[in-house]
Amino acid sequence: MTLDGHIRLMDAITGKLLNDFSGHAHTSYRCRACFGHGEASVVAGDENGAIWAWDILDVSSSPPYTPVASN
């Protein structure tokens, strides 16, 4: 994940860009992204505390989920 607000999925052998995921906020620090269940999605958090998930094939994003702090 880079500080330009993109997560890039690259082929490990050829270096070819397979997909580019965006919409989340990353300008000050890097967070890690991971594959979701069955490697069908990419999941990442952002600087605003939201959790994002993208479909790995069509790059569509689910609405970001922002957890509510419990007291």
Task: Count the Cβ atoms, other than its own, within 10 Å of residue 49.
Answer: 13
**Is residue 60 a part of any domain in this protein?**
no
Per-residue pLDDT of the chain (71 residues; tens, 9 = 90+): 567 778 888 999 999 999 888 877 667 777 788 999 899 999 988 888 888 888 888 877 777 777 766 65
The total domain count for the chain is 1
> What pLDDT sits at residue 26?
67
Residue 42 inside a domain? The answer is yes
Q: CB neighbours (10 Å) of residue 54? A: 24
- Whether 66 is covered by a domain: the verdict is no
Residue 23 in any domain: the answer is: yes
Residue type, 37: H
- For residue 18, the enclosing domain spans 6-55
Q: Is the dihedral of CA 17, 32, 53, 3 positive or negative?
A: negative
pTM over 0.75: no
Question: What residues have CB less than 8 Å from 16, skipping those under 6 apart?
Answer: 10
C-alpha to C-alpha distance for 69 and 55, rounded to whole angstroms? 27
Is residue 65, in this structure, part of any structural domain at all?
Answer: no
Is residue 39 domain-resident?
Answer: yes
Q: What's residue 35's pLDDT?
A: 92
